[in-house]
Amino acid sequence: MRRRAGVGAIQKHKIAQEKYKDKGNEIQENQFEQMTKQLEVFRINLEDFATKHKNEIRKNADFRRQFQEMCATIGVDPLSSGKGFWSVLGIGDFYYELAVQIVEVCLATNEKNGGLISLSELRTRLIKARGQGKQHQEISMDDLICAAKKLKIFGSGFSVVSVGKGQYMVQSVPGELSMDHTAVLHQAASFGQAYASVNMLRTQLHWEEQRCSRALDHMLKEGLAWIDLQEPTEKRYYFPSMFTACINSK
């Protein structure tokens, strides 16, 4: 018969396991300490870089985006750092000011577009409203997305909606768009047109007629779409939020 392990062997095995565990914890602590030191070095270098290129960060949109990506790699958010070194850059102030202006444009156009505006139209209106002042600060799409995300503190009243590759819209009314509503906008944007119809959605999305009608009628009810009853073939649902974008793409 096979002999069972004695009490002494079991205790030795338990002691060995505890030693391995302690050694593992020690290695993890050392690695964590090394990583912390490396991140601190990165942070100091990032501050030096920001000091040297302060003007470029504030004026050049591409440079500003790349700088934010560098910050994200080490877990630094200069936008939420209102005190200390990062406040000197004024980046946070730039985005908060931009967020306020986004709200102003959304409220001014709400009656026309139902609270849904394309990012391209928003950018055009903001550039016009800001004029030639502000030391000619360039506003990029990335800047708008970053600033719009700050508006989440207001709840579901403001959100950024993706309607295709590189295409976004800002929703400024309470409530979230469903997957179907987003798909409808995506189809309209993909074809470079500001409208959709039941047959178009049935063909492109392979939906049942009832599903198409339900999605379009809901958007009409919420003021996100206008209906054209004069088309001889079928009703068209136009999205005023896409008018400018579609005109500029042609």
Q: What structural domains and CATH numbers belong to the chain?
A: 177-250 (1.10.10.10)
Instruction: Count Cβ atoms within 10 A of the Cβ of residue 164 and give its class: 0-12 exposed, 13-18 middle, 19 or more buried.
Output: middle
- For 6-37, the pLDDT digits (tens) are 556 667 667 767 766 766 676 777 777 776 77
- Give a three-class secondary structure readout of 49-112: HHHHCHHHHHHCHHHHHHHHHHHHHCCCCCCCCCCCHHHHHCHHHHHHHHHHHHHHHHHHHHHH
Spatial strand order of the sheet with 236-238 comes to 195-196, 236-238, 226-228
Mean predicted confidence (pLDDT) in 137-143: 81
- For 152-168, the pLDDT digits (tens) are 766 666 788 888 777 88
pLDDT band at 130 (very low <50, low <70, confident <90, very high): confident
Fill in the amino acid letter for 228. Answer: D
Cβ atoms 208, 170 nearer than 8 A: no
Q: Is the pTM of this model over 0.85?
A: no
